[in-house]
Amino acid sequence: MNTAAHILIGAALPLPFWVWLRRGLRPSPWMLLDAAPLVAMFCALLAVTARPVLAGGLTAGVCIFLAIADQAKRATLREPLAFTDGGLLWQVAAHPRFYLPFVPPALLLGGIGLGVAAFVTVVALEPPIALDAAARAGLLALTAGLALLVLRPLWLLRGATPSRRPAEDAARFGPLATFAIHARIAAVERPVRRAAHPAAAASAPAVAPHLVLLQLESFCDPRRFGLPRALPNWDALGAQALSRGLLAVPGFGANTMRTEFVVLTGLDDAALGLDRLNPYFRFARAPVGSLAWLLRGAGYATTCLHPFDARFFGRDKVLPALGFQRFEAEPAFAGAPRAHGLVTDAALGVRIVSDLAAAEGPAFLYAISVAAHGPWTGPDPAAAWADRMVATDAMLGAIATAARKSSRPVVVAAFGDHRPALPVARGGTDTDYLVWRSDRGGGGTRRDRDAAGLHRAVRDAVLLG
């Protein structure tokens, strides 16, 4: 086989899988941009390995991975891959239990097996082609040019205006082109959007209550889905709450960081632009106005408790930028009881109660639970999830009991980050929330809110008394 034919065979390998990734899109003026990352990858691998089939096979493997991931995300979360998902790739390897159950096991294991076998076979059997220094330099120059095109793609649009909605733009421009377009738009707009919401301090209220803000994993009332469970503490606090109701959150079944960021900052989709897809990917890596900065300026000690990997979603970098002085993650819960491999809500509740008792001044404790995270195993996953809601309710009761005994008033605000990724919970994105204050009973007023509205309700309950 001559060299040209060898290269053409390698270059052709990714084509059918790119077509699959494009989900049957017709040819368009933006195909060049959509293909550019794959062509760049092929050229770089060819320059380094001098094996066209290996380079094409590895590029095809990336297409296959992206296509499967996109289909799994659409099936589970009802949205396509987005440019911000690149920041989550390491989490798939570090915490596969949170991701791989959504891919059929036969497809996953079969794909890995075939991929390894193909790689070993090609490495063993494919001879390298003759590439002199000039040819390698040319390939690397082409790679650099294509990379520049991907990083600066907006001039190619020629007046076409992206919708800024991933599914619509992927159907128009192609998935890889959409990644490039959205990433660049977000990068251009980010400094201005961030500067519009600087970190600010609040004036200390006359009576400064503690604030316990509880972000409850996959929490919503299971009784809404026909799963009868006793939640006596949720019901009791709801009856005396300053407000309670449904909470509209920006996603189904996952993307905790979206709800988390909006509740902490009050910044809605309009303020975030495309960074709304994952505010922690880039936007929140620098200081931005938040509830923690407001209360910290008013003399509060600000702490986040999360019994899991501090790096998950980049929280180790984000939470300090959002004004938290301390971030106590998994190492702070060494030896704590676990269920399903995760620190229990009861253990998290014990820590919250302990920190409240030890506080010398007003404290803002932001607790992110993890025990109710899927997958939910057994013959009835929905029932398994509902049982974990009962454990979450017990934690809430322990915290409320401690709040009633505290010498300082305590505001307890609790909310679900998203619905569980279960068929029974489909049909909406709302969860449940309540805001309760130990020294001032409310009438349990029902008021449905979005995440930005909950931010305002919590802020007012603390600062306005």
Task: Report which DSSP code applies to 374.
Answer: S
Q: Identify residue 300 by its one-letter amino acid code.
A: Y
Look-up of token digits 């190619």: 156
The backbone torsions φ and ψ at residue 444, rounded to the nearest 5 degrees and listed phi first, read 65, 35
If we measure between CA atoms, which residue out of 227, 239, 292 comes closest to residue 261?
292
**Residue 355 near residue 325 (C-beta atoms within 8 A):** no
Query: What confidence score (pLDDT) does residue 83 get?
Result: 95
If we measure between CA atoms, which residue out of 333, 274, 340, 325 comes closest to residue 309?
333
Q: How far apart are CA 423 and CA 405, in angstroms?
A: 41
Q: Which residues pair with 339 in a beta bridge?
A: 342
Tokens for 205, please give them: 């209220």
Looking at the chain, which residues constitute the CATH 3.40.720.10 domain(s)?
A: 210-463
Tell me the DSSP string of 401-450. Answer: HHHHH-SS-EEEEEEESS--SSGGG-S---EEEEEEETTS-----B--EE
Contacts of 208 (CB under 8 A, 6+ apart): 298, 299, 300, 361, 362, 408, 462
Query: What confidence score (pLDDT) does residue 276 get?
Result: 97
Q: What is the CA radius of gyration of the chain?
A: 25
**Residue 166 near residue 80 (C-beta atoms within 8 A):** yes
What count of residues does the chain have?
Answer: 465
Q: How far apart are CA 95 and CA 106, in angstroms?
A: 20
Tokens for 222, please give them: 């299971």
pTM (2 d.p.): 0.93
**Could you read off the pLDDT tens digit of each residue along the chain, which spans 465 residues?**
688 888 888 899 999 999 999 988 888 888 999 999 999 999 999 999 999 999 999 999 999 999 989 998 998 888 999 999 998 888 888 888 787 776 666 666 666 777 777 777 767 778 888 899 999 999 999 999 999 999 999 888 887 899 999 999 999 999 999 999 999 999 999 999 999 999 998 888 888 999 999 999 999 999 999 999 999 999 999 999 999 999 999 989 889 999 999 999 999 999 999 999 999 999 999 999 999 999 999 999 999 999 999 999 999 999 999 999 999 999 999 999 999 999 999 999 999 999 999 999 999 999 999 999 999 988 999 999 999 999 999 999 999 999 999 999 999 999 999 999 999 999 999 999 999 999 988 889 899 999 999 999 999 999 987
Tokens for 444, please give them: 């349990």
Q: How far apart are CA 440 and CA 245, in angstroms?
A: 19
Q: How far apart are CA 88 and CA 390, in angstroms?
A: 30
The backbone torsions φ and ψ at residue 342, rounded to the nearest 5 degrees and listed phi first, read -125, 145
Tokens for 122, please give them: 């090609």
Helix, strand, or coil (residue 353): helix
Query: What confidence score (pLDDT) does residue 301 get?
Result: 97
CATH T-level fold of 210-463: Alkaline Phosphatase, subunit A (3.40.720)
Query: What confidence score (pLDDT) does residue 104 get?
Result: 67
